[in-house]
Structure 1
Amino acid sequence: MSSLRQNLLKQGLPPLPEPGSHPTTRSTSSGASYGRKRDYSVLPWKNYFEQVQDVNTGGSTFRVYMRGNTGTKIVFLHGGGFSGLSWAVLSKCLTDIIDCQCIAPDLRGHGSSNTDDDSNLSAQQLASDVCDIIEELNADGSPIVLIGHSMGGAIAVHTSLQNRIHSLVALIVIDVVEGTAMASLNTMHRVLQDRPTSFASYERANEWCVKSGYVRNLESARVSMVGQLKKAENPTSTPHQSISTVNEDDAQITVRNSTSCLVWRTNLQASSQFWEGWFKGLSANFLSVSAPKMLMLAGVDRLDRELTIGQMQGKFQMQVLPKSGHAVHEDCPQKVAEAISNFLKRHRLANSVS
């Protein structure tokens, strides 16, 4: 593995694809393949979430995926470029363990949400959006747990400090630390430039997702990658096109498997002006939140000095899952669900499913 790849993985960034890594079956020296080809087809969100709702807040409409009808409301905030579907497998695992309601919105400029300005991904705007969504969905004032991954973890902290979520009872941040995040900003452009710009089909996208290590869990990749892509405005055609369909909501979406058919939904390169605002001051802000807190990391090397001191002083609980990549909750959904459920039960915020 190259030193660049090792550094990117250490910093918790999406890895570069392995060069020449494309086979789906093992081959003998004679060229004959054996073993079963892996299934990279899309899994429908209905296998994991029970309903989807479009929440209107002023001039914006946010797509929100939900599971569960009783118990503490857990609001999941995805990372930059991801979508609410990133939490699909974890939500199912979690509701199998504890009585809770999982709420996973597509943030501004992501997934199927449409806003008055999809390009404004400032921390202040995203946190305000989250508050708006929660106020629309939590009229009864139920206890709220905020859980965020990467960019979403930073936004969860910003949201906690806005003092608009009066029923906030816990905060969980997944694999984002100010020190390593700030240090990695200079390499993020290179990471984004080196990933594919387009995919011929959802299946190809899912295959890249798993083989590159972007998400290591095939099941999660098959349900979540579709939320990160959109049809290209002017896809190039080929003489021999194949046509497949993908179920999204109740509609059949036709996908023409030609070159450049699918591109990334979110232009993360264009959001670079907001990156520093997401992460600057994050450690101090995280420690200042009065609600019970947990920091979940893929490796202890991600801790910066301020958080190391805070952890030694018992200001938050830390959970390390060293066999996962940056997308901890997608790579190890069952282990993450167990850690979250134990944390919430410890603070008497959730009960086990009877």
Structure 2
Amino acid sequence: METALHEHRLALRMRPGRKRDFSPVLWSQYFESMEDVVVENETDLLNCSYTFRIYKSGSEGPVLLLLHGGGHSALSWAVFTSAIISRIQCRIVALDLRGHGETKVRNPEDLSAETMSKDVGNVVEALYGDLPPPIMLIGHSMGGAIAVHTAVANLVPSLLGLCMIDVVEGNVKSGQIRNLESARVSMVGQVKQCEGAASPECPKAIVEGIIEEEEEEEEDDEGGGSVNKRKKEDDTETKKEHLYTWRIELAKTEKYWDGWFRGLSNLFLSCPTPKLLLLAGVDRLDKDLTIGQMQGKFQMQVLPQCGHAVHEDAPDKVAEAVATFLIRHRFTEPIGGFQCVFPAC
């Protein structure tokens, strides 16, 4: 079986017209700066300082605080950042949540909604003090849930708006990236070298391996097969062939899923700020959101032909939707000749 898989991959690589550049791209190609924000945790008995990795761009306008999905990192917002900065006046702060990316905390396994939402509030306070600028929370999947919990707990006093991307109660799928450009910058933040590996793994192989898994899955689907590879299955294969694995095993976060997503739709609807919901498909809508959307309680846009990582698969479309939302509510101004078309709903 392993031999057949290896031969299939070789055939994919040798196929005419399939030569593609899988080499990683540095964060600096998309963000202007990177820093580690130090947060003093007063509730920690050991008085430990936590450091939260953030990536920033822009110098004026509202702050868009970006929260990634489970298993991802702030680098997943790289291409989106370039797209949104070119359309409107805004400042980007993309955050590695605890247990993810390069953020360092004493108890990274505590991924409860309460703890992570407090982290967001603490980072905002550390960055801006008692007078933070207008901030819009934008979160994908798990990050969208944390954005809602943060808003409901009033942990960002200058909250301007709220955006959830492909978050519906009970949705915990991770999904892989279909956009090679985004994968080249973001995948390095999602994987790490396996313990005991004999030598460092070439970063290029990390991206190439992930993209090939996705391509094989799509080819099987086109042929009528049903191959839904999950991260847990990938771990075993990648350890054998590439000596790398995921930074975080999503299966181990299952005990927190209920806290992230239960009642999330009603919490989202209860937030008094302007709200935007971006979905990969209408099948994500539950009853509460459907009724709320019909009542005009939030703005919604469906971006078809995207996987779960909507902001990575279609960064320009997501940037256009967010930019239009902000301009519509007069939170910012367009730049670079950006012309927005207001959606009907």
**TM-score bucket of the superposed structures, by smaller chain:** 0.7 to 0.9
1:35-46 correspondence runs (5 A) = 35-46=17-28
1:71 aligns with 2:61: yes
How far apart are the structure 2 equivalents of 1:267 and 1:50? 30
Does 216-225 or 226-235 show the bigger shift?
226-235
Give secondary structure in 1 for the equivalent of 2:98.
coil
Does 88-97 or 263-272 show the bigger shift?
263-272
Matched AA of 2:140: H
Normalising by structure 1, we get a TM-score of: 0.77
Asked if the contact 1:106–1:113 (Cα under 8 Å) also holds between the matched residues in 2, the reply is yes
Return the offset for 1:25: 5.0
Asked if the contact 2:98–2:116 (Cα under 8 Å) also holds between the matched residues in 1, the reply is yes
Question: Among residues 146, 152, 163, which one is paired with 1:155 in the alignment?
Answer: 146
Matched AA of 1:216: R
CA distance 1:95–1:20, change in 2 (3 Å)? farther
1:272-291 correspondence runs (5 A) = 272-291=254-273
Calculate the aligned-residue CA RMSD, in Å. Answer: 2.5
Deviations 1:264-323 (A, max 9, x none): 111222211111110001011000000000100000111000110000000000010011
Asked if the contact 1:24–1:38 (Cα under 8 Å) also holds between the matched residues in 2, the reply is no
How far apart are the structure 1 equivalents of 2:268 and 2:7? 41
How far apart are the structure 2 equivalents of 1:154 and 1:227? 21
CA distance 1:306–1:242, change in 2 (3 Å)? closer
CA distance 1:20–1:77, change in 2 (3 Å)? farther
How far apart are the structure 1 equivalents of 2:11 and 2:124? 43
1:104 aligns with 2:94: yes
Asked if the contact 2:52–2:96 (Cα under 8 Å) also holds between the matched residues in 1, the reply is yes
How far apart are the structure 2 equivalents of 1:310 and 1:20? 51
Normalising by structure 2, we get a TM-score of: 0.79
Asked if the contact 2:165–2:279 (Cα under 8 Å) also holds between the matched residues in 1, the reply is yes
CA distance 1:242–1:328, change in 2 (3 Å)? closer
Higher helix share: 2
1:113 aligns with 2:103: yes
- Unaligned residue ranges in structure 2 (runs of 5+): 41-48, 206-238, 337-345
Structure 2 match to 1:89:
79
How far apart are the structure 2 equivalents of 1:309 and 1:293? 15
1:126 aligns with 2:116: yes
Deviations 1:107-161 (A, max 9, x none): 0000011101000000000000011111112234210000000000000000001
Structure 2 match to 1:200:
none
1:227 aligns with 2:217: no
- Unaligned residue ranges in structure 1 (runs of 5+): 1-17, 28-32, 192-212, 247-256
Deviations 1:24-83 (A, max 9, x none): 7586xxxxx422511111011000001001001122111001111111000000000000
Matched AA of 1:272: E
CA distance 1:338–1:108, change in 2 (3 Å)? same
Q: Percent of pairs identical after alignment?
A: 50
How far apart are the structure 1 equivalents of 2:201 and 2:137? 42
How far apart are the structure 2 equivalents of 1:308 and 1:113? 36
Higher strand share: 1
Deviations 1:210-252 (A, max 9, x none): xxx7111000000000001122221156xxx986799xxxxxx
Structure 2 match to 1:309:
291
How far apart are the structure 2 equivalents of 1:236 and 1:91? 36
1:321 aligns with 2:288: no
Does 263-272 or 340-349 show the bigger shift?
263-272
Give secondary structure in 2 for the equivalent of 1:34.
coil
How far apart are the structure 2 equivalents of 1:21 and 1:336? 35
How far apart are the structure 1 equivalents of 2:10 and 2:88? 40
Structure 2 match to 1:142:
133
1:262 aligns with 2:253: no
How far apart are the structure 1 equivalents of 2:105 and 2:335? 37
Asked if the contact 1:242–1:258 (Cα under 8 Å) also holds between the matched residues in 2, the reply is no
